[in-house]
Amino acid sequence: MGAVLTARERARFARRRWRGRLGRWRLLLLAVVATGVVGGLGWLFWFSDLLAVDRVSVQGASVLTDAEVVRAAGVSPGTPLATVDLDRTAAQVAELAPVADVDVTRDWPATLRIELTEREPVAVVVAESRYEALDREGVLFRGYARPPARLPLVRGGALPAGDSDGAVRADALREVASVVVALDPDVAARVDHVEVASLDAIELVLRSGARVRWGSAEESAFKARVLAGLMRVPAAVYDVSAPGFPTTSG
C-alpha cells in the first residue's frame, strides 16, 4: 500500500511548493525590474535631454577663440553627451593649425570639456609682407601684424618653393625650426634673421651684421654648443657647418 500522508506532512509539502513558486515569481520580478532599470538608464544617457550637451568648455585657447574651437568640434547643443565621439571631436579640433595637442572629455551631466595646448612660436617667417609664426616642428600656425622683437626672422622668400604639395618647403621649415630651437638663448637673442639658400646652406645673420654659416640642420645641438664658444671671439663670419673644425674670419 502507498504511504498515506498525514495532515502535517501535506501542509509542509504545500508550503514548499508555495515557496518554490514564490521564488520563481521573485526572480521574474527582479528580471523585469532590472530590464526596466537598464532600459531607463539607456534612455537617460542616449536619448534624454537631461544628459544632453548644453555647454562646451574650452580651456587653453589664446591664439584661437573659444568660438573657433567650438565650431571645429562640431558638437551641436542638445546632442546626448554619451553619444559624442570623443576621438573624432579631438581629431577635428586638432586640424586647427595653432593646436599642438587636444584632449576632449565628458563632464557630467551636460558639459563637453576641450583642453588645448597651443603651439609656441620659435621664429617668424617673413614672406610678401606677411608675418607667420613658426613652431619647433616647422609648422606655420598664426599671423602677426608685426613680428615680435624677441623672435628671429626667417626670410621666407629664400625658402624653396617646393613641389605641388609643398613638401620641400615643409622640409625646409622643419630644418630651420630645428636650428633655431638648438640655439643657446643668449645666441638666439642676437639673431636678426635666418637665410636658407638650400637645405644644406642655412645661414644666421646676427643683429651686429656678422654671419653664421650653419650648413644643414644635422648636428644642430653640437653646432649650437660650438657657436656659443666661438662667439666669444669677435668676427665677421662664424663657420660651424663642420662643427668639428669651426672657423672664424673677418
Asked whether the beta carbons of 126 and 155 are under 8 A apart, the reply is yes
Q: What is the pLDDT of residue 13?
A: 52
Q: Taking the CB of residue 183, how many other CB atoms lie within 10 A of it? A: 23
ω before 109 within 30° of 0 (cis)? Answer: yes
Residue in this structure with the C-alpha cell 606677411, named with its chain if needed: 130
User: pLDDT tens, 203-218?
Assistant: 999 999 999 999 999 9
pLDDT of residue 2: 47
Its pTM stands at: 0.75
Between residues 50 and 223, which one has the greater pLDDT? 223
* Phi, psi at 94, each rounded to 5°: -65, -15
The pLDDT assigned to 10 comes to 57
Q: What is the pLDDT of residue 197?
A: 82
pLDDT given for residue 42 in this prediction: 47
- Written as one letter, the residue type at 126 is V
195 to 69, 209, 213, 214, 240: CA distances (angstroms): 35, 13, 10, 10, 15
Q: 75 pLDDT band (50/70/90 cuts)?
A: very high
Q: Which pLDDT score, from 0 to 100, does residue 43 have? A: 45
Quick check: 204 and 196 in contact, CB under 8 A?
Answer: no
pLDDT at 88 over 80: yes
DSSP run (H or E) holding 193 = strand 191-198
Q: What average pLDDT does the chain have?
A: 84
Alpha helix (H) residue ranges in the chain: 7-46, 66-73, 86-94, 167-182, 185-188, 220-230
Domains in the chain with CATH codes: 52-118 (3.10.20.310), 121-249 (3.40.50.10960)
